Amino acid sequence: MQTYQQLIDGEWTGAAGGKTFQTFNPADTREAVAEYPKADAQDARAALEAAARAFPGWAAQTPVARGRILSRASQILESRKDELARLLTREEGKTLAESAGEVQRAIDIFRFFGGLSYVHGGQTIPHDLAHVFLYTTREPLGVAALITPWNFPIAIPAWKLAPALLAGNTVVLKPASPAPAMAFEIAKALQEAGLPPGVLNVITGPGGPIGAELTAHPAVRALSFTGSHQVGQQLYQQLAPRMVRAQMEMGGKNPTIVLEDADLDLAATLCARAGFGLTGQACTATSRAIVVRPALEPFLEKLVERARAVRVGNGLQEGVTMGPAINESQLQTDLDYVRIAQEEGARLVYGGHRLIDDELEHGWFVEPTIFADVTPSMRIAQEEVFGPVIAVIAVDSFDEAIEVANGIQFGLSASIVTRDLKRAMLYAERIQAGVVKINQVSTGLALQAPFGGVKGSSTDSFREQGAAAVDFYSRIKTVYLDYSA
């Protein structure tokens, strides 16, 4: 078992109250993975004060100097890629291939923002009068608080941290309690890369008391959160009285529409990958397949074939294609929704059970699950499960498919499978989602492109990822220089 300390002001220390907590391998809960300090409001305050002290020095460095540290951290993470991927799988449960992909994503994100540092700045704007130089600069905001979920424990901290640091902010990061190791591994890499003390502080512990301090402390000028709608909404309300810049990226109930002209093998493969991959624990997972009736039966048959081919098990084992749920509570949520869907009249076509055979009995394993005869108002069609459960909804037309797809509180990612270019383009125009995929999985994003949701999936204030990500972490100052006199 590894032991981590929290990082405050460049020092690795225990929690002020001396308490600790452990994480356990979700594939085999007999294995404790790591121990962490259990921070409280006092630790959060110390971390925020350290970040506030470090801010003027960090903000005074040039973007290129800051970017060099990000690029160096990318190289350090790359040199540890295999070791980090194994640790990620042991703590979060996803397969080794999925973990390796995620670690690579974090490496690439730091490289991307390291490179972006060379063009980080404002613009020049022609003035109405001669001999007036009108330009903008970008300034950092101050201390940024980052609160991240467990399901992408290295990619999400990376995609918030890199633009926050590039823009010149100092940071307090609070990763999710079920999988904090990767946040500390990023911190180690940044420290080794030369990040000055206090610029990044990482604390672990329960979200409630730490979140209360992060939202109330006057040093915090921006808070970026990724997680559930319920917590995001609460944090947004806590921040409102101080009018602090806020970015809340939350859940989804993502559709994949299958039209009658679609390549149904492709449609089934895309839905299975986006619905069962990462054990369905992705905010962009496909959890609704909305299928136009002529395609329904052949599509269902093919989707069941794909579900049957999923090999559930410990993600470290070769050949395993789907790991466990993160913990008992998520497993219970998955099984609760299986029961609720059946009670509401949906037809269980495949899966729906916990797996406990042989070596699976010590983990939180669930079968990939498919429901048919789902109607749009059922809870299984409306609420985020965050497990490998696909609800198949039959519709009569393209227009009805879009109406059903839009008839939910969320709007994160949305996919369509069709060969009809016109309807694909109309879909892109009419679907209420931050990300639209045509003949692609609803999961999976290009790190160089903006990402975020609409409706209940996001505060829809600023986008994450890509060059647009720095907008949240910087403010624009406008300068008029008159040299006419």
Nearer to ligand NAP, 350 or 386 (CB): 386
Q: Answer yes or no whether residue 48 interacts with ligand NAP by CB under 6 A.
A: no
Nearer to ligand NAP, 250 or 300 (CB): 250
Of the candidates 88, 219, 283, 335, the residue annotated as catalytic is 283
In whole angstroms, the minimum distance from the beta carbon of 350 to ligand NAP comes to: 23
SS3 304: helix
Residues 59-88 that bind ligand NAP (CB under 6 A): none
Per-position x/- string for 142-171, each x denoting binding to ligand NAP as judged by CB under 6 A, each - no binding: -----xxxxxx-------------------
Q: Which two tokens stand for residue 289?
A: 């397949």
Q: Answer yes or no whether residue 114 interacts with ligand NAP by CB under 6 A.
A: no
Q: Answer yes or no whether residue 228 interacts with ligand NAP by CB under 6 A.
A: yes
Of 28, 43, 249, 334, the one binding ligand NAP (CB under 6 A) is: 249
Nearer to ligand NAP, 63 or 387 (CB): 387
| Strands of 220-226's sheet in order across | 11-13, 6-8, 200-202, 170-174, 143-147, 220-226, 245-249
Active site residue 283: yes
**What are the start-end ranges of the H helices in 132-263?**
155-166, 181-192, 207-216, 229-239
Q: Are 338 and 389 in contact (CB under 8 A)?
A: yes
Pairing outcome for strands 389-395 and 435-438: unpaired
Residues 409-438 that bind ligand NAP (CB under 6 A): 412
Of 386, 427, 462, 472, the one binding ligand NAP (CB under 6 A) is: 386
Q: Answer yes or no whether residue 252 interacts with ligand NAP by CB under 6 A.
A: yes
Query: Which has the closest alpha carbon to 171: 271, 58, 274?
Result: 58
Q: Answer yes or no whether residue 368 interacts with ligand NAP by CB under 6 A.
A: no
How far is the C-alpha of 446 from the C-alpha of 212, rounded, in Å? 33
Q: Answer yes or no whether residue 208 interacts with ligand NAP by CB under 6 A.
A: yes
Pairing outcome for strands 389-395 and 286-292: parallel
In whole angstroms, the minimum distance from the beta carbon of 108 to ligand NAP comes to: 17
Stretch that binds ligand NAP, among 37-45, 202-210, 300-308, 364-372 (CB under 6 A): 202-210
In whole angstroms, the minimum distance from the beta carbon of 163 to ligand NAP comes to: 14
HSE (side-chain half, CA atoms, 13 Å) at 108? 13
412: burial class by Cβ within 10 Å (0-12, 13-18, 19+)?
Answer: buried
In whole angstroms, the minimum distance from the beta carbon of 244 to ligand NAP comes to: 14
C-alpha separations of 181 from 150, 281, 390, 429 in Å: 10, 18, 30, 40
Pairing outcome for strands 20-24 and 32-37: antiparallel
Tally of CB atoms within 10 A around 419: 12
121-133: b (≥16 Cβ within 10 Å) or e: eeeeeeeeeeeee
How many residues at the interface with ligand NAP, by CB under 6 A? 29
In whole angstroms, the minimum distance from the beta carbon of 200 to ligand NAP comes to: 16
User: Which residues of this chain interact with ligand NAP, rule CB under 6 A?
Assistant: 147-152, 174, 176-177, 206-208, 211, 226-228, 231, 234-235, 249-252, 283, 384, 386, 412, 453, 457
The residues carrying an active-site annotation are 283
